[in-house]
Amino acid sequence: MAKFAIGEKVDNAVGNHDAGTVIAVFPTVEGNLRYAVDMEGYGALQFFAEDKLVVHAG
């Protein structure tokens, strides 16, 4: 089961903690989940493993 839902606001847990919105959740070949996140201000999707995201703080 996915930790984050499509449409949920999340923050990058590492680096500069940018915020974004989950737009897709999909499994890898190994069975792990990956999240496609529309990061605010970048105009492109970024893909994250579940442990690299946290619920948006603000």
Domain locations in the chain? 9-55
Give the pLDDT score at 16.
74
Q: Report DSSP state, residue 19.
A: E
For the stretch 8-49, pLDDT in tens is: 999 998 877 789 999 999 999 999 999 999 998 778 899 999
User: Residue 36 in contact with residue 23, Cβ under 8 Å?
Assistant: yes
Q: 9: how many CB neighbours lie within 10 A of its CB?
A: 15
Q: 1: buried, middle or exposed (CB in 10 Å: 19+, 13-18, 0-12)? A: exposed
Identify the residue whose tokens are 């606001």: 9
